[in-house]
Amino acid sequence: MLTLTDTCPSTNSAIDRNAPHGHALMALTQTAGRGQRGNHWEAEPGKNITLSLMLRPEGIAANRQFEISEAVALGVADAVEELGVKRVAVKWPNDIYVGDSKIAGILIENSLSGTSIARSIAGIGLNVNQTEFRSDAPNPVSLAQLTGRTFDICALAQRMVDLILGRLGRDNHEEYRRRLWRGQGLWRWQTADGKQFDATIDDVQPDGHLCLSGHAPFAFKEVFPAG
């Protein structure tokens, strides 16, 4: 079920913690939308999808939490591809790219019950009908810019939610691995303390750590693509 609200600071903060599995809260305007690493998510009011989806997965251990991230990322990528967009990829851990431009960001917050995931809140920002971006984000792009069309954001949001829910409970890892941005070949990487090196992506572990050739696995925020 998709619930629409006119405005809220952040859908991840506003969604009812008791909401059932599959419930989504979408805001036409977020006044304090959050992106990864504490960044602000730019979204022109009424032109983009900014929503949070409540997930209550069954039987996913905390040390395999990245299965949720894979399902959400691939579901968003599926929704973009259905509209005829090519070169859709997932930038580790779960940004959605078209070529070298970012079309969607995902922020997942997990809560535990013992050693299992009790609930996950997936905050998703998808650039849809916005054609000008004014923040200092380096590489945003929207569906409207890519296709020359505008879209019904509510209908698209519901379709995206359905595709994500359809991915949960499946083994998505091999497809996630194939669809990684810069997932093939040698690329330059930079650690959080500024050191740079060249490496290939070997794999992503079930807990989300990135395995780069010749290095110990990296957690989120410990390494970034350089350039």
Q: Who contacts 102 (Cβ-Cβ below 8 Å, separation ≥6)? A: 91, 95, 96, 137, 139, 140, 141
Judgement on whether residues 156 and 210 belong to the same structural domain of the protein: no
Q: Do 206 and 134 sit in the same domain of this protein?
A: no
65-113 per-position pLDDT tens digit: 999 999 999 999 999 999 999 999 999 999 999 999 999 999 999 999 9
User: For the whole model, what pTM was predicted?
Assistant: 0.94
Which residue among 159, 178, 197 closes a domain?
Answer: 178
Same domain, 56 and 136: yes
Question: Of 29, 131, 9, 146, whose CA–CA distance to 81 is shortest?
Answer: 146
Residue-number span of the structural domain to which 161 is assigned: 2-178
Task: Please give the pLDDT value at position 59.
Answer: 87
Same domain, 156 and 213: no
* Same domain membership, residue 174 and residue 115: yes
DSSP type of residue 42:
P
Number of separate domains in the chain: 2
* Together in a domain, 42 and 120: yes
User: What pLDDT, on a 0 to 100 scale, did the predictor assign at position 166?
Assistant: 98
**Which tens digit of pLDDT belongs to each residue from 182-227?**
999 999 999 999 999 999 999 999 999 999 999 999 999 999 999 7
CATH number for the domain harbouring residue 146: 3.30.930.10
CA distance 122 to 16: 13
Q: What is the per-residue pLDDT across 134-186, written as a single tens digit (0 to 9) for each? A: 877 789 999 999 999 999 999 999 999 999 999 999 999 999 999 999 999 99
